[in-house]
Chain A
Amino acid sequence: MKPHRDRLVATISIAQAPGQGKHDPMDMFDEMQGQNGQIRSPYAKFDAWLSEEDAARLRAKSREAEDLFRLTGITFNVYGRSEAEERLIPFDIIPRIISGREWQRLERGIEQRVRAINAFLHDIYHRQEILRAGRVPQEMIANNVAFLPQMIGMMPPGGVYTHITGIDLVRTGPDDFFVLEDNARTPSGVSYMLENRETMLRMFPELFSRNQVRPVSDYPRNLRRSLAASAPAACEGTPTVAVLTPGIYNSAYYEHAFLADKMGIELVEGHDLRIVDGRVAMRTTRGYQPIDVLYRRVDDDFLDPLNFNPESALGVPGIMDVYRAGGITIANAPGTGISDDKAIYSYMPEIVEFYTGERPILQNVPTWRCNEKESLDYVLAHLSELVVKEVHGSGGYGMLIGPAASKKELKEFERKLRARPGNYIAQPTLSLSTVPVFTKSGLAPRHVDLRPFVLMSPEGINVTPGGLTRVAMKKGSLVVNSSQGGGTKDTWVLED
């Protein structure tokens, strides 16, 4: 297995929404209208407000929102396009609403999952008990490019690997949430969570006096506190924290600048940094100043040309040596990719049980590992019903959505599967929940997913209530990826 990874820059990260659009509409769970057309209780007050609104005003508001986003500069660059192209991610004005009770369960499940991921990372880079116990096969690690030998035996400051995690969730019914993907490298999208809320507050203040919505605005403060709490031993006094960006042409540059701004810390690039007296230091107008915690939005490969990709101009030569000597905290720790790899994903229920001793609160989507003979046979026999993903792919590229694929595409994928079965996993098509979006002809249901953001420090775990809801803007579409036309919604968690 020689998986292919092409992640030159962190793209607006994206989950793939499995499922299909050809279900009987009666099967489909709409989060606002339920299965029987009766407004579900979290949406009751919103629905009452909506029925008093006139469509022309909402249309005007929708345009106003777009102007606001353009003015603020919340744009992303589509990877591979000309540098000048900045696009807006479509924003839908209908909020996605989650009750306090629903959230409580999700929050416990997310915390449990992040604790397990962190324990798994510590174990896999130290004693590898889980491999010895036979719960995860040896070759899953040995042959995996996401496993970083440089991290073996290395204890990150405070024992924290995943300072920031994004857990992608999908829903199929009132109580049925599934984890679609864990993002433990450099998850993005949190700036949209924050700006979506700001925009809604500016446009519909009255909605927030009718509904008790839990705030998300303290995320930057919590992030800074959490990063500072993870400072290395070498830190004296108040920790100096900085954000490392690949640069202004990166697709998520807006978010990097946004977070640095909201945290009141410096936004640095590789060429602003150098090793001075055993510390990573940034070039300021007063000379070089050491950094204690680096929130890097640069992939592992590009972090250190001396230790990883020698071609990288985005990183800092020698930063890994400083890291190993306890001179800096890198957040997230290098090598966390081994925990959110799609091949490892299928073992997450075992991983959660192994480290927490508890049953997983959040379900995994059932997954066939195509490197196993019986699984491959099953997948080939049911290809038109399944979603097949590349183990190391991201951004919704290189995947097959069986029910939506043509005969030709199915044949093609069958060939690929037979050639490199180990490169693929398959999942059933779930009947993904919908939430209405505002269209020219009124409300229309569209499929959604949810990415809550989780902070971890030696002081504990903090989950921001809500997260980023991504929505497929096209009718029946299951692809919510921003690089493929998906949009976003404000996500409300109600104070019950």
Chain B
Amino acid sequence: MLGKTAGGLFWMARLLERAENTSRMIETGQRIALTRAGSGADDWLSVLQAAAVAYGYQQKHAEVLPELAIDWMLRDPDNPSSVMAVITQARHNARLVRTALTHEAWEAVNSFWMLLKEALARKVATRDLPKVLSLIRERNALVRGAILGTMLRNEIYDFIRIGTFIERADNTARILDVKYYVLLPSAAAVGSRLDNVQWDTILRSVSGEGGYRLTIGPDVTPMGIAQFLILDKRMPRSLNFCCAKLRDNLNYLATDYDLRLPCHQQADTLCRRFMTHDVAAIFDYGLHEYVQEVLGHLGKLSHQIEIDYRFYG
């Protein structure tokens, strides 16, 4: 496979995953706004931060307003990480690697882009927001389904999965990074209504409420959340799960090519973090520092994969 193609597949998958995560963040922001009084400016700011688009927003707008934040994340042409921009880029990558995709997979990406362009042609009214957000999730599910159901399990598939899991791990780590302070045990009023809302928000932003109840139990606690989002082996958005999948897919390539590269070593090191730490130890070490390190490690690994598999020559 061409190095360029591997890179196109990797980025297509990352960007698709990013669009879905952003839509989930918007949904969470909207949910908080509906369940509490006040302007919610702080909440929207943390949503923008978790989606890694706060800096650009603040360059353009002095004040954090819900409708501006939503528009920024969905379609503002000045935001290169808006859902519209990201899906346009994902489609561009899909076109670039058209020969590596089945026509079902390509058509799913292409129709996603066509529908989104229509849905985001003008500012989305609040009452239409749920419809637009579910369009994004549904269309993403369709793309994933087409890939899952029609693509050979070969190197092409491996690069797609690697892109998906690196982006997802990055997203979960960012949410933890932005919200770590509400999980710290030093918070004054443990179990207050405010905290409960914040903790729910974290779970909701990774679609994890139901999974949490089944795995950890009915009581939402900082320790439980960290356990669930960092170490849980079955939660598909936990750091442990994503990094394990990332390593698996890199290993399939190593087997297929009969060649281990520096990125494989790095992935092993990354995964070891989640084997050797129990959640109390993470809090002892410092949740913030821990998550920061994971984010740094993910960035380095992504770069190493680009080099090892010659994405850019």
Chain A positions near chain B (C-beta within 8 angstroms)? 70-73, 248, 253, 257-258, 260-261, 265-269, 271-272, 282-287
Contact = CB atoms under 8 A, between A and B. Distances in A.
A154 to B, nearest CB: 29
Given A266-B2, A272-B2, A272-B3, A285 B99 contact: no
B92 interface: yes
Q: What is the size category of the interface that chain B forms with chain A?
A: 20 to 34
B4 A72 contact: no
Contacts, number: 61
A70 B114 contact: yes
Q: With a 10 A CB-CB cut-off, give which of B99, B114, B253, B310 has the most chain A CB atoms.
A: B99
A35 B256 CA distance: 65
8 contacts: A71-B110, A72-B107, A72-B110, A253-B95, A260-B99, A283-B310, A284-B3, A285-B253
Contacts of B6: 285
Contacts of A268: 2
A248 B2 CA distance: 16
B209 interface: no
A72 B257 CA distance: 33
B1 A285 contact: yes
Contacts of A260: 99
B57 interface: no
B158 to A, nearest CB: 10
B47 to A, nearest CB: 30
Contacts of A282: 2
B110 A285 contact: no
A379 to B, nearest CB: 46
Nearest to B88: A84
- Chain A binding surface, main DSSP class: mixed
Contacts of B111: 71
Interface in B1-49: 1-6
A248 B96 contact: yes
Tell me if B's interface is mostly helix, strand, loop or mixed: helix
B98 A286 contact: no
B102 to A, nearest CB: 10
Interface of B: 1-6, 92, 95-96, 98-99, 103, 106-107, 110-111, 114, 155, 253, 257, 259, 309-310, 313
A73 B259 CA distance: 37
B107 A71 contact: yes
Given A72-B107, A283-B4, A285-B3, A267 B99 contact: yes
A342 to B, nearest CB: 34
A285 B155 contact: yes
Contacts of B114: 70-71
Given A71-B107, A283-B3, A285-B6, A271 B313 contact: yes
Given A267-B99, A272-B313, A285-B309, 5 more contacts: A73-B110, A266-B99, A268-B2, A272-B2, A285-B6
Contacts of B110: 71-73
A73 B4 CA distance: 21
Contacts of A272: 2-4, 313
Given A260-B99, A268-B2, A283-B2, A73 B310 contact: no
A72 B155 CA distance: 24
A84 to B, nearest CB: 9
Contacts of A70: 114
Q: Which of B1, B2, B95, B259 has the most CB of A within 10 A?
A: B2
